[in-house]
Amino acid sequence: MDRYIFIIVLLACVLRAVRCYSSGKVTGACDNMTPQHKKGAQQSPAPFSVTTDRFSFKEGDEIIVKLLAASTPFTGFMLQAREVGGSSPLGSFTVTSGEAQPLTCNGLPNSAISHTSNSPKSSIQGIWRAPTSGNLNSIQFSASFVKDYSTFWVGVRSSPVTYNITAAPPASSTSVTSTASSSSEVSNSSTGCDSTKVCFSQPLNCDPGVSPDCYFLSAMTSLGDTAIQLEMTGPSDGYIAIGFSDDQRMGNDDIYICGRDSGGLIQLQHAFSTGRKTPEILPLGNVSDVKSSVNNSIISCSFTTRNPISTQRSGGSSSLYYLMIVHGPSNNGIIGTHTGTFISDTKVDISSPQVVTSGKEPPIIKAHGSLMLIAWMTTGSLGMIIARYLKGVAKGKHYFGKDVWFLVHVFLMTLTVAATIIAFILAFSEVGGWSGGVHPVLGCIVMILAFFQPIGAMFRCGPHHHLRFLFNWSHALNAVAIKGLAVAAIFTGLSYFSTSEDSWLLKVMGGFVGWEATMYILLEFHMRWKRNDHTESASESTSLELVLLVLFFLGNIAFLVALLVGIGSS
């Protein structure tokens, strides 16, 4: 009996200990901050970090402290503020979420915070308030992180925060996540571009303080200081991000992301991209003076970073980098595939004030766009018009046992399909994979339908077969669908090349659609009028049809040349 009682008591003690640890009531570890897990702490660098929103303080100041996980979440933690080199907690904490709770250490209420459960965590934020009296010195925030029972790190420290009696209190908008609802909180402006800071914008030279459609990045450095002051702003429903890269492709890029978190607030994140996939979120690191806002879907962030820029191929703040601005949607704080990308056309020294121009599209992408324009503004359009309206122009003339109109139609549509296939291969080989957005979706649908159009024609039934009408209708409807989708794809594709504020390339394309629709209406009207009125001679009808065809061709060529020139100079 005594043995059973002993076992029950032992189990109760063990369960109590486990329950206490998972609930974060770890006041027994206040001095050495070591979890009582009967295991040794890890000696490898911790995959976690402790960051602050400022680097100096005075009596009564509040400092926002964040615990961040790089890739692996932590289940438990303990955080204290101590004098540099000291061993006793200092000041008091308040918590901002249910995942953290204050603790009393060494008789000081709220002098530490810890977890409330063993749920996985990637970020914890607390607010530390400095004592209002006493002999204060510079401090560091020290934390312990628990990954699991046998894996934990002790003594992960922040950068020192210097005691300075003249330190200015931080603005209320300097928190990493803010409820900012007014763009006045982050006053990004083009003032100082080319004189005190590096500026990169899309459209070129736009002012984010004036134009709501302006994507803007600025960087400013001080002589003899490693700090970089960065600003970014732009319209987006999810996030905007800026990056530093060795080349003009995604991958090996140092990135800062300004976007909505799961609660709809704006947060700043540091990340690194390793290819065409979601970037790896890093600890925010040595970042201060963070301000963020969102107003009418215009997201803005400004901050100062002392983190070295690294692409894992080069490092150091004096290196040259391509600048990137991207934007896209987000879901519960997780960024999605970007829907817009702007890249500088040259590498930039961010310590040298200048206005940076947007990167030109690669020649292969320009070739892709040019082939699609030629295919669906000239050869495809002419081939469809000949099959619909001009069968009688060369009536009675045959070559190789086929009507002339049919041979011309097949030739033009073969060129169209071939140009579409080549353009698709060029774009896919340049991008190197699937790219997000509407344009590639439309392009793939056009490619698939265009590929099967001639295959269906090869297996059509004879002209007098009782099911011939099925082929005629399906062939015609598929052609109309391809044409409509191709025009939509061209519009979305031209948006990549249209860098001017008036978007003249898109306006020219709109003019082309209006012109072609007008010519189709005229040809349709003439065809129906000819069917109902037999007084017009065959030669007069043919002459009018040829005039309309030539007019149609010349108009299309004029619009095509304008767009090709625009693409070439984009």
Whether residues 120 and 225 share a domain: the answer is no
The answer to the question of residue 169 being in a domain is no
Question: Among residues 356, 377, 393, which one ends one of the domains?
Answer: 356
Q: Are 316 and 336 in contact (CB under 8 A)?
A: no
Dist CA 335 CA 458 (whole Å): 46
Whether residues 368 and 345 share a domain: the answer is no
Beta bridge partners of 49: 68
The answer to the question of residue 516 being in a domain is yes
Whether residues 137 and 10 share a domain: the answer is yes
The answer to the question of residue 168 being in a domain is no
pLDDT of residue 17: 40
Beta-carbon count within 10 A of 274 CB: 13
Total count of domains within the chain: 3
Whether residues 410 and 344 share a domain: the answer is no
Whether residues 395 and 319 share a domain: the answer is no
Q: Are 265 and 177 in contact (CB under 8 A)?
A: yes
Q: What is the pLDDT of residues 316-342, one digit of tens each?
A: 444 788 899 999 998 877 888 888 888
Q: What is the pLDDT of residues 50-59, one digit of tens each?
A: 888 777 788 8
Whether residues 377 and 295 share a domain: the answer is no
Percent residues over pLDDT 90 in the chain? 15
Whether residues 369 and 349 share a domain: the answer is no
Whether residues 195 and 146 share a domain: the answer is no
Q: Are 153 and 35 in contact (CB under 8 A)?
A: no
Whether residues 235 and 351 share a domain: the answer is yes
Say yes or no to pLDDT of 517 above 70.
yes
Q: What is the pLDDT of residues 457-498, one digit of tens each?
A: 888 887 788 888 888 888 889 888 988 898 888 888 887 666
pLDDT of residue 77: 93
Backbone angles phi, psi at 111, to 5 degrees: -85, 0
Dist CA 289 CA 46 (whole Å): 25
Domain, as residue range, for 277: 174-356
pLDDT of residue 20: 44
Dist CA 193 CA 231 (whole Å): 12
Dist CA 112 CA 25 (whole Å): 11
Whether residues 293 and 214 share a domain: the answer is yes
Question: Among residues 307, 332, 356, which one ends one of the domains?
Answer: 356
Q: What is the pLDDT of residues 95-140, one digit of tens each?
A: 878 889 999 998 899 999 999 988 999 889 899 999 988 888 889 8
pLDDT of residue 200: 92
Q: What is the pLDDT of residues 8-22, one digit of tens each?
A: 444 444 444 444 456
> Which of 226, 227, 234 has its CA nearest to residue 288?
227
Whether residues 10 and 67 share a domain: the answer is yes
pLDDT of residue 222: 73
pTM above 0.75, yes or no: no
The answer to the question of residue 246 being in a domain is yes
Q: What's the full length of the chain, in residues?
A: 570
Q: Torsion angle of alpha carbons 93, 95, 100, 103, nearest 10°? A: 30
Q: What is the CATH number of the domain that holds 59?
A: 2.60.40.4060
Whether residues 393 and 491 share a domain: the answer is yes
Q: What is the CATH number of the domain that holds 507?
A: 1.20.120
Please provide the average confidence, as pLDDT, over all residues in the chain: 80
Q: What is the CATH number of the domain that holds 303?
A: 2.60.40.1210
Model confidence band, residue 362 (pLDDT cutoffs 50, 70, 90): low
pLDDT of residue 361: 60
pLDDT of residue 360: 57
Say yes or no to pLDDT of 552 above 70.
yes
Mean pLDDT across the stretch 531-535? 62
Two structure tokens written together for 357: 């121009």
Question: Among residues 356, 387, 420, which one ends one of the domains?
Answer: 356
pLDDT of residue 173: 33
